[in-house]
Amino acid sequence: MIQLHLLAVLTGCFLDFLLGDPRWLWHPVCGIGNLIARLEKALRKWFPKGEKGERMAGRFLVALVLLVTGGLSGGILLAAYSFSPCIGYVAESIICYQMMAWRSLRSESMKVLKAFEAGDVEEARTAVSMIVGRDTKSLSEEGIAKAAIETVAENASDGVIAPLLSMIFFGGVGICLYKAVNTMDSMVGYKNDRYLWFGRTAAKLDDVCNFIPARISAGLMIGAGYVCQFLSRRKKADNPYNGSKGIEIFKRDRFNHKSPNSAQTESVCAGVLQIQLAGNAWYFGKLYEKPTIGDSVRPVEYEDIRRANDLMTVTYLLALVPVIILFFITL
């Protein structure tokens, strides 16, 4: 069973590398999102307005979403493995494949770079608006590039390493539950008038679930920074990577964010690429003052989107190395 589980992890990750998320294929995260939206609408009707009522409604939302997600994924896997270990392996591989987000994150962020390369700033603005929660209408070219880089850096943990760790240690049910928590946070975990109390439980739970993965991701990304630096030197190419700077900025700026986790990988990315990220941003028409992350050793350029993706990819590969080793040891 351990061998099948590890093989399912590797198969799912390979399928994500190869296929990504085809638009024609229904995605379980969309189902989780629809469930959250419908439950929010119902719970807001059932519970009174105000801090106390909205807090209680938010707690019920979290409990119900986790119950449904865990029950369905657990039921599917239990039935599949009961019927046949091979069918169970296939089912767990498919779950892992659909819950991993490396290919989609790279693909969507690289659309911003491709638009810049084509000289179409407005298309780059449109592309980045699809992957960030901030207002993008007033962003400069540098701001658009920074937004894409920050998304890649942050989601290297949320969308890649954290789901991978959930899958490794808790199986298909674990990765589904993690994605449910992450989706709730992305939908209701805002500190605005609508979600300040309703989304509090979801946001706090997401912080707890990502606390250890974010720090593991940062450590892996520091290692990836040195790998990218070495490879760039071997190719005798332009080398903006600096692994030592990644450690320096991580130590200094890893808490320069309201979330205890978001700046962990973002600080490493900013340090390794020797650029400055974060700072003030507009959300839902309101300006939020945020500290900067990193130093402006050099100006941000749109080619840094590719570099951030390469850094994320090497981070991902480093995380897979122990899984591959463990799989062959158990053969």
pLDDT at 205: 96
One-letter amino acid at 40 equals E
Mean pLDDT of 264-283: 87
DSSP string, 56-122: HHHHHHHHHHHHHHHHHHHHHHHHHHHH-HHHHHHHHHHHHHHH--HHHHHHHHHHHHHHHHTT-HH
The whole-angstrom separation of Cα 331 and Cα 320 is 17
Query: What residues contact residue 52 under an 8 Å CB cut-off, 6+ apart?
Result: none
Decide: 246 and 221 in contact? Cβ < 8 Å: yes
- Please write the tens of the pLDDT for every residue from 194-229: 999 999 999 999 999 999 999 999 999 999 999 999
- Please write the tens of the pLDDT for every residue from 299-313: 999 999 999 999 999
pTM equals: 0.92
Mean pLDDT of 69-79: 96
Mean pLDDT of 18-27: 81
Long-range pairs, 299-302, Cβ under 8 A, ≥24:
299/142, 299/275, 300/142, 300/145, 300/146, 300/149, 300/275, 300/276, 301/145, 302/112, 302/113, 302/116, 302/117, 302/124, 302/141, 302/144, 302/145
